[in-house]
């Protein structure tokens, strides 16, 4: 008994400290670093400027509008064929500063300076100047974390706006993403506009994504195209957050796997 | 200035001083965590930033036991998992870095200076990225091609790029973390000596 007591006197503080440190670290992990992000937002608040509308590159804006136009023209044609198809009007977005990038190089994430206090929820769509950027995966009271579409784990169902051929994009950790087609011989040309498809459960259809840069039709099992994202994903300073209607309907339990599953289900159908 | 602070610290009660020691250590970890998501000019190479937590683990483990190195790696790995994504885990890479750095027994083989710290950080950064890449590879083995989010070739091409740039940047920035922390811990252990 006495020896245990003496051992405890000698090592008790150290064991207590180790437990404290590991407990705190575990807490940070379970809360997804929420406390750290709150402190980070508080520290960086003085350095975040205001959005300067005039400074935003005009050519990028024009490109976005052009892409939307192509998308709308194509959609319009289909509307004339499909009676009763109702297009949802885009809702007002929240302009938000980007306060941080991902804390590791293997993940493509950004941290935004607004959170649940401003009404942001998990699943919100994040758009940059020119097209979609990603979606909100985690929210703290005043920050939110965004998984970019350039991350290899985010797969988005997309369509070629001109010919309506479907596929999905996989991130490549850079400003280029790979689009895999569901068809063996898709009608696609370099310069075609790519937008989100109605098969994507994470993003509403018709949002601009990027432009086809090059095509590899011989790729197995499916043809691939390299898409240049239209939003400047590596140097974003301000983004716009939109509420996502598609997620609210389908539920947010396992959104990522749902999306890839639905994409695969579609592949099966197409091949049959 | 340092003499003054030493005098002030030596006048404190040993327990208060230990509290200060732990507060400074925890504060330095918090500082590393806060620098982690920023991309200040000059801290970026091919969109890769220094791995501050790895630098901290190396600075901590260089003059400590294997067990202490492993605990530090474990704790910081858990925190980094929270900051990014828990799968694959950073715990493994940072704990192994802590253990290896403590095993090096730097005092015996290598002269104490910035260059050797930078070299150790360089090697450990490559090791840590390799461990993460291996974990990603295991993940991709379990699934078929359509389900795998990263293919093997993608993982290892990406690994080359970030292992090199992260190692270069981390080793260049290592003295900025190591020098003040090492100085603080040295002073603390000097003050601790006559007491025990």
Tell whether the model's pLDDT for residue A259 goes beyond 50.
Answer: no
Which of the four pLDDT bands, split at 50, 70 and 90, describes residue B184? confident
- The answer to whether residue A260 neighbours chain B at the CB level (below 8 Å) is yes
Contact A100 B146 (CB under 8 A): no
Handedness of CA B35, B38, B40, B43 (dihedral sign): positive
Query: What pLDDT is attached to residue B143?
Result: 62
The shortest CB-CB distance from A105 to any of B147, B154, B166 is to: B166
- Compute the nearest-CA separation of A242 from chain B (Å): 23
Q: In the prediction, which pLDDT does A272 show?
A: 33
The string of pLDDT tens digits covering residues A216-252 is 888 777 888 888 888 887 777 788 888 876 655 443 3
- Give Cα separations from A37 to A41, A62, A138, A173 (angstroms): 6, 35, 11, 23
Measured between CB atoms, which of A17, A100, A152 is closest to B37?
A100
Q: What is the pLDDT of residue B81?
A: 84
Residues 6 or more apart in contact with residue B8 via CB below 8 angstroms: none
pLDDT higher for B106 or B151? Answer: B151
Say how far apart CA A100 and CA A43 lie, in whole Å.
Answer: 12
Chain A residues in contact with B166 (beta carbon < 8 A): 105
pLDDT, position A25: 85
Mutate: best of B82, B155, B165, partner A, most A CBs <10 A: B82
> What is the residue whose two structure tokens read 């270069």?
B168
Q: What is the pLDDT of residues A69-88, one digit of tens each?
A: 888 877 777 777 665 555 55
For A17, which residue in chain B has the nearest alpha carbon? B22
List alpha helices for B90-151, DSSP H: 91-103, 106-109, 114-141
Structural domains of chain A in order of their starting residue, each with its CATH number: 2-47 (no CATH), 56-272 (2.40.10.340)
- pLDDT of residue A253 exceeding 50: no
Distance from CA of B114 to the nearest CA of A (A): 25
The pLDDT, as a whole number, for residue B117 is: 83
Angle formed at CA A254 by CA B81 and CA B85, multiple of 5 degrees: 10
- Gap between the Cα atoms of B146 and A222, Å rounded: 10
Residue A115 phi/psi, 5° resolution? Answer: -140, -150
How far is B105 from chain A, CA to nearest CA, in Å? Answer: 23
Class of domain B2-195: mainly alpha
Tokens linked to A58? 């005009």
């Amino acid at each position: 008994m006495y020896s245990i007591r003496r051992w405890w006197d000698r090592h008790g503080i150290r064991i207590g400290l180790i437990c404290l440190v590991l407990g705190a670290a575990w807490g940070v992990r379970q809360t997804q670093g929420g406390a750290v992000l709150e402190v980070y937002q508080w520290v960086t608040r003085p350095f975040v400027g205001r959005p300067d509308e005039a400074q935003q590159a005009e050519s990028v804006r024009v490109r976005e509008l052009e892409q939307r136009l192509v998308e709308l023209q194509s959609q319009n044609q289909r509307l004339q064929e499909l009676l009763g198809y109702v297009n949802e009007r885009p809702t007002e977005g929240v302009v938000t500063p980007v306060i941080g990038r991902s804390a590791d190089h293997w993940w493509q994430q950004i941290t935004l300076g607004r959170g649940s206090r401003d009404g942001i929820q998990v699943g919100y769509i994040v758009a940059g100047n020119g097209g979609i950027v990603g979606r909100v995966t985690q929210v703290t009271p005043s920050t939110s974390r965004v998984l970019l579409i350039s991350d290899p784990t985010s797969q988005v169902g997309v369509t070629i706006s001109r010919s309506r051929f479907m596929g999905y994009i996989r991130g490549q950790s850079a400003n280029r993403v790979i689009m895999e087609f569901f068809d063996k011989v898709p009608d696609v040309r370099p310069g075609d506009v790519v937008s989100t498809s109605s098969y994507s459960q994470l993003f509403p259809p018709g949002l601009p994504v990027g432009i086809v840069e090059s095509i590899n039709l011989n790729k197995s099992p499916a043809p691939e195209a390299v898409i240049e994202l239209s939003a400047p994903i590596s140097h974003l300073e301000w983004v716009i957050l939109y509420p996502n209607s598609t997620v609210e309907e389908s539920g947010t339990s396992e959104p990522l796997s749902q999306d890839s599953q639905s994409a695969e289900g579609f592949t099966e159908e197409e091949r049959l | 200035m340092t003499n003054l602070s030493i005098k002030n610290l030596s006048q404190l009660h040993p327990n208060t001083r230990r509290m200060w020691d732990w507060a400074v250590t925890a504060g330095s970890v918090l500082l590393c965590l806060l620098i982690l998501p920023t991309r200040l000019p000059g801290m970026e190479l091919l969109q890769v930033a220094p791995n501050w937590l790895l630098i901290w683990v190396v600075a901590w483990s260089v003059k400590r036991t294997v067990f202490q190195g492993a605990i530090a790696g474990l704790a910081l790995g858990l925190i980094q998992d929270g900051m990014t994504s828990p799968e694959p885990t950073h715990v493994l890479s940072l704990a192994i870095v802590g253990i290896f750095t403590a095993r090096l027994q730097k005092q015996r083989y290598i002269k104490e200076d910035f260059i050797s710290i930078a070299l150790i950080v360089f090697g450990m950064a490559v090791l840590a990225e390799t461990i993460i890449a291996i974990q990603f590879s295991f993940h991709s083995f379990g699934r078929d091609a359509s389900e795998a989010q990263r293919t093997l070739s993608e993982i290892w091409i990406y690994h080359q790029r970030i292992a090199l740039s992260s190692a270069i940047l981390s080793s260049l920035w290592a003295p900025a973390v190591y020098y003040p922390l090492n100085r603080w811990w040295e002073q603390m252990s000097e003050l601790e000596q006559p007491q025990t």
